[in-house]
Structure 1
């Protein structure tokens, strides 16, 4: 196995120069760097990351914690963050909290023990009294969709409220007057902001806001479960019901809503999974979409444009948010404190809530 000394001899430089090339610390001329990298490739030299981390205090790794690894919404953020980090020479450790706050806390501690250089926490579910100290032990941190004090963590989020305002205004413009909302988990920042945006949108559009037309999270699903984490654990992992949990929440919620309130002619959903379930509920109840009920989702997950009817929704730039989160994290690792990044939602009008012809 080739050693650093072997690379130094082959490249005609000192061991210190080789060390600087692979640690990223200190100046090395472009010509010397090229000779070292060529010699390392020819000899099959692999730097000792453990030894390097002991010398530099850096592991060139970052941790990413997501609440639900099965969600395409979160997966695209992870992809953006991972590719951005890799370009900068970092390896990522991906952790799934499975919608369980205690798991999230344990994973953040594990990443601290693993001595990652920083963490990205996507839509954290922990209460602030537990989240803040869990992040404070890390050298650098960024949250996606959960703004925290800037001295503690960088901030990347999308304009959830603004997106929902636009969704309600669209329904009002196409003549819908009795508009309902299917809410997400209250402990999620995105869900709280989207509900706030729906309420504001109803006021701005001059529509009557009826509390009985706001469907609470997990309403009509199962009285014995309090959150999605418990629901997931109550199902057999990998089963069709387990995979379709978001659709099930939307399906059962919309069935209950529309059966009790047939006057509803517009429905805004917390996310596209709920909206897909609502489309199924409308078919079962004989409610035509969009003639009887216009439906708007959120996130623009893959394949929804191929549904019949195709789903009107809000496009959230998840990949770009992940990329930005990694960029901000690397800045914070370097001791800088970049400004927060807020991404707009784009209303995508399709067949489930079209603009009437003429």
Structure 2
């Protein structure tokens, strides 16, 4: 079985240089790196990852727990987390919790058994105290867990304000918001706070209908609109939706019912993920979360926690949003 010495001999460099290439440490010229990587390929050298991990007390593995990897937002977020992790020579293990407490507990245990260096938490079914017991670096998406667990989120309050003010500027006089479950302490619920406050500041009548957080499919949103939202549409001329999938489901329902969008009903979503960008008829009016930047910050924050001084406090990050004008509002 080829060794690191064989690689060094084949590439015409020192063992130390090969080690630096493998560990991505110190300055290595592009030509030297190319020679080492070519030598590894020619003699079929594969680093012993387990031995290297034990030696460094670091596996270069990161866990990512999401509620549903099939949801367009989380699918795209995983894509950017993986891209940035790869650039930093990390690999990721993806876990689908389905917002199920038991599954999330089992996945956290599995990630610890596999000696991951840290976890990106995008699913939050456990009590705060349970996350504190994990004893691994954690960065949270869209939830405040503890002072020593940093979070990354979009500016949900500003997004809610932008959406509501835009509907009002377009002449809406009665507004509806389809939100997530407001009993959960999620930062995304700041969108509902901003909606409510903006409506009150403008003396606009409003109502909020809550979604269930553990049901993120188009079928669920379609059922929600038929069961709850449809009976309200005669009373409202503008709807701010908590995500783009429910906004599109509402548009389809309105179209089938002969409700003209945006003439009779104006609709704004939230996310601007690949699903939204793919749709051009109609082009959805929405609030853009920069998913690429969120993914990069989640990953870089966790790596900083893994590699930095243990006592160093890592700050939270709130990423700016923007309004994307489309055909539905």
State the distance in 2 between where 1:291 and 1:17 align: 67
Does the 8 Å CA contact 1:316/1:345 hold for their aligned counterparts? yes
Shift of 1:82: 0.6
- Match of 1:287, SS state, is coil
Aligned partner of 1:214 among 185, 203, 208: 208
**Cα RMSD (Å) of the superposition?**
2.6
Deviation at 1:50, TM superposition (A): 0.7
| Distance in 2 between residues matched to 1:269 and 1:20, nearest whole Å | 50
Aligned to 2:110: 110
- Deviations 1:126-150 (Å, cap 9, x if unpaired)? 331323323xx11x22111113334
Unaligned runs of 5+ in 1: 219-226, 233-241, 354-358
Alpha-carbon contact 2:238-2:267 (below 8 Å) kept: yes
CA distance in 1, matches of 2:250, 2:27: 60
* Structure 2: segments with no counterpart, 5+ residues: none
TM-score (norm 1): 0.81
Counterpart of 1:346 in structure 2 is: 322
CA distance in 2, matches of 1:28, 1:164: 46
Using the TM superposition, name which of 67-76 and 7-16 deviates more: 7-16
Offset at residue 244 of structure 1 (A): 3.1
Deviation at 1:57, TM superposition (A): 0.7
Q: Is the 8 A contact 1:97 1:104 kept in 2?
A: yes
- How far did residue 7 of structure 1 move? 2.2
| 1:42-63: CA deviation from partner (whole Å, max 9, x where unpaired) | 3221100011111111111111
Which residue in 2 is equivalent to 1:326? 299
Q: Give the conservation status (yes or no) of the 8 Å contact 1:251–1:278.
A: no
1:4, distance to aligned residue in structure 2 (A):
2.3
Distance 1:274 1:36 in 2: 51
* In 1: Cα distance, 2:10 partner to 2:292 partner: 42
Q: Which residue of 2 aligns with 1:157?
A: 153
How many residue pairs get aligned? The number is 323
Q: Cα 1:63–1:179, aligned 2, differ >3 Å: closer, same or farther?
A: same
Q: Which residue of 1 is the match for residue 214 of structure 2?
A: 228
Alignment match, 2:138 = 141
Distance of aligned partners of 1:15 and 1:268 in 2 relative to their CA distance in 1, 3 Å threshold: same
> Residue in 1 aligned with 2:228?
253
Aligned residue runs from structure 1 range 85-96, under 5 A:
85-96=85-96
Cα deviation for residue 307 of structure 1 reads 5.2
TM-score (norm 2): 0.87
Report the Cα distance in structure 2 between the residues aligned to 1:19 and 1:156, rounded to whole angstroms.
34
Distance 1:280 1:34 in 2: 53
The answer for the alignment partner of 2:245 in structure 1 is 273
Q: How far apart in 2 are the matches of 1:55 and 1:161?
A: 46
Report the counterpart of residue 262 of structure 2 in structure 1: 290
CA distance in 2, matches of 1:106, 1:130: 12
Quick check: 1:300 aligned with 2:272? Answer: yes
In the alignment, which residue of structure 1 is the partner of 2:62?
62
